[in-house]
């Protein structure tokens, strides 16, 4: 994930480090999410991409911040 700031600074974060405080911070102009889908099918996204899209569209209160062991 990339956060673009007003002062031309770009911050690259993994999804685990990204949170509401990061993308709502003062000076953040744009946030980009990048993903490489391992699925070879051109017309259907693979399950990793589907899960990533579900995470991005889920309401913040529904997304848990628990870490797996």
pLDDT tens digit at each of 69 positions of the chain: 556 666 677 777 776 666 655 555 666 677 777 788 888 888 888 888 888 888 878 876 666 655 444
Closest CA to 28 of 56, 4, 1, 2: 4
Q: What pLDDT score was predicted for residue 25? A: 63
Q: How far apart are CA 46 and CA 52, in angstroms?
A: 10
Query: How many Cα atoms are found within 13 Å in the side-chain-facing hemisphere of 59?
Result: 2
Angle at 48 between CA 46 and CA 49, to 5 degrees: 70
Q: Which helix (H) or strand (E) holds 21?
A: helix 20-23
Which residues share a beta bridge with 27? Answer: none
Q: What pLDDT score was predicted for residue 64? A: 61
Q: What pLDDT score was predicted for residue 39? A: 85
Q: What pLDDT score was predicted for residue 4? A: 60
């Amino acid at each position: 994930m990339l956060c673009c700031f007003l002062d031309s600074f770009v911050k690259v974060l993994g999804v685990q480090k990204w949170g509401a405080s990061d993308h709502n911070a003062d000076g953040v102009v744009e946030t980009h999410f990048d993903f490489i889908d391992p699925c070879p099918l051109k017309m259907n996204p693979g399950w990793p991409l589907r899960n990533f899209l579900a995470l991005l569209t889920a309401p913040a209160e529904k997304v848990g911040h628990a870490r797996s062991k």
